Structure 1
Amino acid sequence: MPRFMGFVRMEEGIGTPPQALFDAMDAHIGERAAKGVFLDGGGLYGTEDAVNFVVRQGEVSRVDGPYAEAKEVVGGWAIMQYDTLEEAVADQREFAELHAKYWPEATVVATLRQISTGPEAPGD
Structure 2
Amino acid sequence: MGFVRMAEGVGTPPQALFDAMDEYIGKQAAAGVFLDGGGLYGTEDAVNFVVRNGEVSRVDGPYAESKEVVGGWAIMEYPDLESAVADQEEFAELHAKHWPEVTVISTIRQISTGPEAPGE
Q: Aligning the two structures, in what range does the TM-score lie when normalised by the shorter sequence?
A: over 0.9
Q: 2:88 aligns with which of 92, 95, 110?
A: 92
Q: 2:41 aligns with which of 41, 45, 59?
A: 45
Unaligned runs of 5+ in 2: none
Task: Letter of the 1:95 partner, please give it.
Answer: F
Q: 1:18 aligns with which of 14, 29, 51?
A: 14
Q: CA deviation at 1:25?
A: 0.4
Unaligned runs of 5+ in 1: none
TM-score by length of 1: 0.96
- SS in structure 2 of the partner of residue 48 of structure 1: helix
TM-score by length of 2: 0.99
Distance 1:6 1:23 in 2: 19
- SS in structure 1 of the partner of residue 109 of structure 2: strand
Counterpart in the other structure of 1:78: 74
- SS in structure 2 of the partner of residue 104 of structure 1: coil
- SS in structure 1 of the partner of residue 13 of structure 2: coil
Q: CA deviation at 1:12?
A: 0.2
Cα-to-partner distance string for 1:62-89 (whole Å, 9 max, x where unaligned): 0000000001000000000000000000
Task: Letter of the 2:111 partner, please give it.
Answer: I
Task: Letter of the 1:108 partner, please give it.
Answer: V
Counterpart in the other structure of 1:30: 26
- SS in structure 2 of the partner of residue 114 of structure 1: coil
Q: 2:108 aligns with which of 86, 100, 112?
A: 112
Structure number having the greater strand percentage: 1
RMSD (Å), alpha carbons: 0.4
